[in-house]
Amino acid sequence: MALLMETRLLLRKVKDLRCLTQKRHRVKEKWAATRIKHPATGLALQNFDSTYSVQLGPLWPSVRAALLSERKYGALLNNYGHDDVQAELQAKGCKDFPSDIETEAQPYLEQEPEVAGEEESTHVSVNKSDLDARQLPALQLSPNIKCLVFPRGDITRFKPARPDMFGCLGYYLMDAASVLPCLALNVQEGHNVLDLCAAPGGKTLALLQTKSIGFFGVNDASVSRTTRLRKVLGSYVPKPLLSDEKLRITTFDGTKWGEIEKNTFDRVLVDVPCTTDRHSLMEDDNNIFSKNRTGERRRLPQLQLDLLLAGIEAACPGGEILYSTCTLSQIQNLSVVEQAIHTAREDHGIQLQVVDLRPLTHMFRKTFDFAPDLPLGEMVVPHLAANFGPIYMCKLRRLT
């Protein structure tokens, strides 16, 4: 009994020595177990700082500041609406950027020959000050796509679109840089088009504005995202068009599309899932940098490669494929395209030609900032004065 009392007295004295412990170590165990963890947005910023500071060099600080600031939107005009929304927005200072190109950029737009036998211009000589005196091929864009933006440095916000008398909204708010892949896809009259990863629907809606598509296959692997896609289209497109047999909305695994419809489409848009850099920095909800999505993030490049290869197989000989992401990551952009070109040649016997998109950067340099000297494809980088993007795009053509 005496021994037990001495032990208790000794333990009490040891506890009293807590006052000699450094304050930062005086933490209750239950508090230590529930310390605030790094949010997903913080983990994304750490990842980008370590990766993009090397990839972009001195450009990264300005891009970083823009990514952490409020993004800028464009208003994609709905050609199925009946209100004169364009005049209303232009009165507020907006400009339709696809038609607002510089005078010296006009030669880069390929025109259909008007006289039989007339040869189309395939190359245009450029002054030494313009893109290092290299010769740029002419570029034809998808028609009828209109997207209005406020001038550089103007951060005015668009008001929500209003429905017309038939219930169609006048415009769709989206990152204006996301319209560039749709323009570059060069959809022409009667083309069969596939949008392999269509949700949430902005690029799908932009392609529908061309009113040139013969058959439009719209697909997304996610049931919930496809439901959202249908809701978006239902707010902008007349119901008879949604039920038309020329428009088909599906929920298939896009990586298997080469087995479903091979050598079928004139144009294929492959806007793949990615780290979505801007969302990853601004929103903790559904963030791919969350701890429980680490494996999914690491598998992204392989998923992107499989989707691009499926899109290549779905395109017919002579058809064109547009690969795009909304990330700055070289691993998800350039590396995926390089691997796809190699795999298509070695494993599928498909020869691909990279279509030069430099004319696009020259035409729209008043509206967007583009990354300089990319070895493959083009990329819009965010800038505080023109806070669009990031959007990476690379166009491939299947050789016959």
Binding-site positions read 197-203, 220, 253, 271
Q: CA dist 379 to 66, 100, 392, Å?
A: 15, 20, 4
Beta carbons of 228 and 201 less than 8 angstroms apart: yes
For residue 291, which amino acid is it?
K
Largest CA distance in the chain: 116
Residue reference for tokens 């995202």? 225
Pairing of strands 265-271, 247-250: unpaired
Of 65, 127, 138, 49, residue with least CA distance to 369: 65
Choose, from 147, 274, 326, 394, the residue flagged as catalytic: 326
What angle, 0 to 180 degrees and rounded to 10, lies between the N-to-C axes of helices 40-56 and 60-67? 150
Cα-trace Rg, the chain = 26
Binding site per annotation, positions for S-adenosyl-L-methionine? 197-203, 220, 253, 271
326 is catalytic: yes
Burial class (CB in 10 A: 0-12, 13-18, 19+), 69: middle
Integer Cα distance of 390 and 381 in angstroms:
5
Which positions are annotated as active-site residues? 326
